[in-house]
Every structure is written in C-alpha cells, then in structure tokens.
Structure 1
Amino acid sequence: MEKIMVVAGEASGDMHAARVIEELKKLNPELEFIGMGGQRMAEAGVELVYDPTKLSTIGFVEAVKHLRLMYRILDKLEQVMKEEEPAVILLVDYSGFNMKVAKVAQRCGIPAVNYFAPSAWVWGQWRAKKMAKRDVTIASVFPMEEEVYRQAGAEVEFVGHPILDIVNPDLDTTEFRRKYNLSSEQTIVGLLPGSRQQEIEQLLEPMLEAAYQLEEDYQGELKFLLPVADTITNSDLEAEIKRHDLDVELITGQSYQVMKVAALVLTASGTATLEAACFKTPLVIIYKTSLITYLLGKLLVKIPYVGLPNVIAEEEIVPELLQGAVTGEKIADQALKILNSNSKQEEIKEQLDEVVERLGAEGAIKRVANLVLATGGISNGTS
C-alpha cells in the first residue's frame, strides 16, 4: 500500500492540503497518508506527526520564536521518511519550513511536489532556484509564479488557483439575508480583519475606527458584518467592538455570504482578497506587521504591491494601506471614495473580473492530485 507524506503548517495550508488529500483518495482509495498539519488534515485521514497550526506567525521576527522547535520537528519528519518510505511528499505552503523539508526529501531520495510554493516572484528568484536545485515539482497557482520557476529551471505545471473550485460566485444568499434581516436598501460593509490572532491585534482596531467614521457619514444606512474565522473566538472581538460603540454583526464563518452581499469589504491582505475578487466585490486591503519585519520586507520584496489582486493585475486596481497608513481615518477615506462612486465600483468590478480570469480554470485541486500521483509513480486507482 502506497504512502504519501503531506506537510503543511498554517490553517490555510491545512485546508488546501486536506482538499487535495480528499481528491487523492477518490483517485486511489488504497493510499495512506502521514505528515504534519492540522485538524482538517487529520479529519481527511492523515496520521499526524505534529500539528503546528497554533504556532502560525507572520513575519521574520515573529517566526524566530519557534525556530528551535521547527528544527526538532524537521528531524522527526526525516526519521519518519526513512522509516515509512513514502512514494512522494506533498509540500503545502509554509515556505520557510518546507524549503528545508524539500532538502531532507532530496537527501532521502523521495520526490516532492510543492503546492503554494515559496513566493519567488515576491522575494526574488533565489527561492525558485533553491527548489529547482532540490528537484521539487512545482504545482503553480499563479501565472507569474509559473514564469519565475520555469526560468529558474524547475519542473512546473500550472494547475491554476483552487479558489476557483472553492468559491461559488453564483452563491444564493436569500436565506442568509433573511436570517440576518438584511434588506436590499441597506449598504453592507464586510469587515475581515484576518484569521490569525496577530492580525486581529494589529488590524481590528483601525478597521473599527474606520467603521465608526463610515457610520457617522452614512447616518445609520450602513450594516457591518464580521465573519469570524474558526481560529478566532467571538470573545476576542466583542470587547473591542463594544469599546467603539458600534453595531457589528458577528457571524460564524460564512465569509463568502458576506462578500457576496457586501458593497465593499475592508480586509487583511491574503487569500480573502482573491475570494472577494471572485465575487467582484470592491475592497480596501490593509496590512500591518512589526516594524523590523516591515523594514526587512521593504529591502527584500521585489514587487510594488502587497494585495494579490494588485499583484496579479500588475497595477493598483484596489487601494492598499500598509503599516503607518493603517489608520481609521485613511481606511475610511478610501472606503468612501468607493462607496460614494458608482462608476468607481463598476471599474473595480471589471478589473477584478480580469484578475479572476488570470487565475486559470476550475479543477486545480484535481490537477494537483494527479500531479502528486504522477510524481510518485502511483497508479490512478479509478482508471
């Protein structure tokens, strides 16, 4: 019975990995899975060596806190590779760590596929060259990623972005509107401060300050919805909302429903920006991290934008506010420029539609699963 090792770190990687595992099980029900990940991978049938999802961090300085532990886990994974001899290793996101796993896999003679590979188009081609040197096959989710890795000499297959399999832009929100008493006359603004505790600490307060200013401008005509990620509890949010004297509806999950009904979303930089793009919902992107991390990033980052829609479009089609610009006043100012202009909203929607077209076609998850099987020389049990 063939074994596949899967290595993911953060909650998003855990989710993406679990979806590929489910597809792999459809293609070959006899497969066994071992590796590192979170609850979703465990539920998908992976025998976990370690769950690092609660250690999720953002930035250079923050990651150092767990460096010693990460090396211990890396040693453990190498031991498991030698004992279990998996046919192939699927590396999902978690780039700093998974670049090291790739090196170990090469040393052990095990082929590897990297899904959500290191962002060489952001940090420089050296990352792509390292993965190419380690004989890792890249399952590319972005068009600019495919180009950089191919130039670096890596084996690359453009699979497209799985968000097109996950997000349904034709989502029916009738029941959602009824449940939360959302009328067609209300202007709905979605607040998405992120799924990590660190993001909540950095972004929630200025986001709520912006919401307060918008509320004053619109005199009760706005409705604020905040979908709560499963990694965050309501208590993390309620006290801050109360302090700002705001009427914000906390909604468990259902971020897609919020994006669908919203006229605008204020969101942390990340996957949520692409999800909003799939719904053609105008957005303001905000990003803030520690000062040292930000300064290091400015020295190393090779692209002028942070928000993925802007990166893919290669121009600023939606406003993004970084670091010191992340204030309630500046967020509200950008939000009002969109909310007060129908022509601006339509322009953004058209540009977001073009961004989504560049992400490829549906079926990315199945393409990744087939690539993993082919790389590991494993038969497709359904053929």
Structure 2
Amino acid sequence: MPQPPKRIFFSAGESSGDQHAANMFLELKKSRPDIKALGMGSQKMAQAGIDIRYDSANIGVIGVVEVIKQYAEIHRALNLMKQLVANERPDLLVCVDYKEFNFKLAKYAKQLGIKVLFYVSPQVWAWRPGRVKKYGAVIDMMAVIFPFETQYYQAENIPVRYVGHPSVDKVHPQYAKSEALQQFGLDATKPVVGLLPGSRNNEIKRLLPVMIAAAEQLQVTLPNVQFILPQADSISDALLSNYLQHTTTVIKCVKNQPYDVIQCCDAVMTTSGTATLEVALLAVPMVIVYKLAAMTYWLGRLLVNTPFIGLPNIIAGKSIIKELIQHEASADNMANEIKRILTDIEYQQEMRNHLTQVKQALGQGGGSKNMAALALEMLP
C-alpha cells in the first residue's frame, strides 16, 4: 500500500520569513515532488504552492508598542495555528523566524510529539542568552544563518546546523549596472543615492519622512545627486505617495527590482535589518538608520547586550558602517554621512573593502537547498 505524501507545516510571520519558507519549499519539491505543505505565511509561500491557512501580512510588526497594538490579532493567529497543528498532525513543523510567536507554537507542537525545525535563530548573542536553553527544550533542530551562531547552541548540547544566509543566494541583480541605470532613467555621470526605509508600514512612517528631509538637504549641497527608492512588495503605493507628494525632490520608486536598484547606488540610507546585509553583499557604501517607539527603544537598551545593531558591523565584529539610532537618526546626520561617502573617496573605498570581507564571511550560500536537505533528514 503506497505511503501518503509527507506534510510539512510552515509558520512564517514576516515578509522575509515568507520568502525564506517559499524558497525552501521550492527546493524540497525538487527532491520530493509529492510533498505537501500548509500553514501561516503570505504571497511568496502561496505562489510556491503552500496552502496558506492564515495570511501573516496582518501581523508582521516589530517593537513592543507595535506588538501590543496588534496583540489581539497575533493571539488569534497563534490559537488558529495551534488548532491547525493539532488537527492536521504534520510530519514536521518548520518555524521561520518570528521568534516569540513561533517559540509558543513550537512548544505546543513538541507537546503533541511533532518534530520541530526552527529556521533563523533568535539573536541570542545580542540579548537574553538564557533563551538558548529555552529554545533547546521546544525544538529538535536549530538552523542558523550566521556561522558564529552555532557555538551558542553547541555549548548547551542543542542540535544546531549552519545552513548559510538566504540572502547570499538571492542578492543578484538581473541586469548589468549600465543597463539598470538606463532602465531607471538615471544619468551614469551623476551620483545615485538609494532610500531603503523598510518593508513594514511602521518603519515607513518613522523613517521615510526623515530620509526625504535628508535627500532635500543633499540636493542643496550636491545638486547633481539623483534619488531612487526600491519599493518593498508589502508597501502600498498609497502609503509612499503620502510622503513623496509633499517634496519637490525627485525620488524614483521602483517595484520588484531591489538588487538592480541597489547596484545603481553610490550610497544608501537603509533601515536596520536584512536590507543592510543585501546592500553589503553588493558592496554599496551605506548609513544604517533606525527608530523605534520610545518605550521599545528604552526596553531594548536595558535588554540588548551588543555594541551594534547593523548586521554588517555584527559580522565584521567592529564598526565599519555608521549607525544612527533613535534621536541620532536625524536628517542632518544622514545627509552628512551620505555626503562624506560621496565626496571622500578614500572613506568610500575603505567601506567597500570591509563590505567585501563581510560577503566572504557569509560563505557560498545554498541556504534554501541546505534547509530542504535538513528537513528531509528530519522527516520520519
């Protein structure tokens, strides 16, 4: 009698997790075309063929205050996922990032005897190192995306595997830089500055107005500068136009081609997060900016034990990129740092050299393939 196809339950709560899970499932299908998947995610996972039972676009928020505002919906989603896991009894639960939510879901699944693979470790090296043991109690395997993370789990005898960072595989422009410049209507003889305000609505609201103000200042001191913004899938035209319609500075918005946009840039203002790594992989000089709700920021300062928030700095183990956090994330400071990058060639080249080293430290990639192989190993 033929065996029923294996079923994997995915839980991804943010746009990056949605992409990671989709890529992993596409790799799984190459080895096991009969494999089935369902769970929580969004557009990318649905396009990959995963049966989406809850659209996580509703709950992709960051920060204590923002989570409190969305608490009722997040709680409802968690209860729904628990119920689905209990009813469907998948062969494997793959929790992708979205730490606190997925910790609770993993704990519940483990109690039901379902194997749990956690993809993207919580940043235990930055805050609450004691969480390593807590996660170890609710998972069967932790898949980490930075090589230095394995030591924290190995020290507690928790199964861990370094699978590579997903960005290494996906950060590839479609066109040559000269073609992309032409396509976007940019003058190759004039500097280009990118604005990367984030992929969440609350990041746009906090950071885009300041980035626009910085662009306006730059246009006064460096009139030749051109501005471009790669629009995240999760950000609506309406939200962007709310801010862009109030400035006379021309900022071109481009959809669905983030890496072509970034490679065209001579300097970038970017929010903290995965975007900083994507810019680093293309060796484009940048300034990292971040703002949180005041309460979230002060709580973070009490809990976080790391000198940096920018991933390129964390990987390098030193400050190679300027970070402007909270009150320091002003239009003046952003404009001054971008101006320095554009006009101080030695400073710009030194930054590019450091970013090349960050890329080398991340290795050859293959994250999605490695994750698929690991999932297949874990299937009963």
Cα displacement (A) at 1:372 = 0.9
Matched, 1:235 2:235: no
- C-alpha separation in 1, matches of 2:284 and 2:314: 17
Amino acid across the alignment from 2:102 = N
Amino acid across the alignment from 1:229 = A
- C-alpha separation in 2, matches of 1:246 and 1:69: 38
My pick for the range that moved more, 171-180 or 127-136, is 171-180
- C-alpha separation in 1, matches of 2:351 and 2:316: 11
Preserved contact between residue 121 and residue 144 of structure 1 (Cα < 8 Å): no
My pick for the range that moved more, 339-348 or 114-123, is 114-123
Matched, 1:178 2:200: no
- C-alpha separation in 1, matches of 2:379 and 2:279: 35
- How many residues of Structure 1 are paired with residues of Structure 2 in the alignment? 376
Task: Tell me the equivalent position of 2:204.
Answer: 200
Preserved contact between residue 116 and residue 141 of structure 1 (Cα < 8 Å): yes
Matched, 1:13 2:20: no
Preserved contact between residue 13 and residue 93 of structure 1 (Cα < 8 Å): yes
> Could you report, residue by residue, the CA deviation over 1:154-176 in whole angstroms, capped at 9, with x for unpaired residues?
21111110111101269523332
Pick closer, same or farther for the CA change 1:170–1:65 going to 2, 3 Å: closer
- C-alpha separation in 2, matches of 1:182 and 1:52: 36
> Could you report, residue by residue, the CA deviation over 1:184-233 in whole angstroms, capped at 9, with x for unpaired residues?
211000111111110111001111111111111112x1110111111112
Task: Tell me the equivalent position of 2:285.
Answer: 282
Task: Tell me the equivalent position of 2:150.
Answer: 146
Amino acid across the alignment from 2:231 = V
Task: Tell me the equivalent position of 1:299.
Answer: 302
Cα displacement (A) at 1:67 = 2.7
Task: Tell me the equivalent position of 1:380.
Answer: none
> Could you report, residue by residue, the CA deviation over 1:118-173 in whole angstroms, capped at 9, with x for unpaired residues?
12112221222111122331111012322222223321111110111101269523
Task: Provide the identity percentage.
Answer: 38
Task: Tell me the equivalent position of 1:381.
Answer: none
Cα displacement (A) at 1:290 = 0.3
Cα displacement (A) at 1:263 = 0.5
- C-alpha separation in 1, matches of 2:299 and 2:286: 27
Task: Tell me the equivalent position of 1:78.
Answer: 82
- C-alpha separation in 2, matches of 1:77 and 1:226: 35
Task: Tell me the equivalent position of 2:363.
Answer: 360
Q: Mark the runs of 5 or more structure 2 residues left unpaired by the alignment.
A: none
Task: Tell me the equivalent position of 1:27.
Answer: 31
Amino acid across the alignment from 2:208 = L
SS at match of 1:123: coil
Pick closer, same or farther for the CA change 1:241–1:66 going to 2, 3 Å: closer
- C-alpha separation in 2, matches of 1:71 and 1:276: 34
Cα displacement (A) at 1:39 = 1.6
My pick for the range that moved more, 118-127 or 347-356, is 118-127
- C-alpha separation in 2, matches of 1:129 and 1:114: 14
1:124-273 to 2 correspondence within 5 Å?
124-168=128-172, 171-219=175-223, 221-273=224-276
Cα displacement (A) at 1:57 = 1.1
SS at match of 2:245: helix
SS at match of 1:245: coil
- C-alpha separation in 1, matches of 2:58 and 2:377: 32
- C-alpha separation in 1, matches of 2:250 and 2:70: 38
SS at match of 1:121: coil
- C-alpha separation in 1, matches of 2:45 and 2:185: 36
Amino acid across the alignment from 1:206 = V
SS at match of 2:133: helix
SS at match of 2:125: helix
Amino acid across the alignment from 1:269 = S
Preserved contact between residue 169 and residue 278 of structure 1 (Cα < 8 Å): no
Task: Tell me the equivalent position of 2:113.
Answer: 109
CA RMSD of aligned residues (A): 1.5
- C-alpha separation in 1, matches of 2:98 and 2:81: 15
- C-alpha separation in 2, matches of 1:376 and 1:120: 27
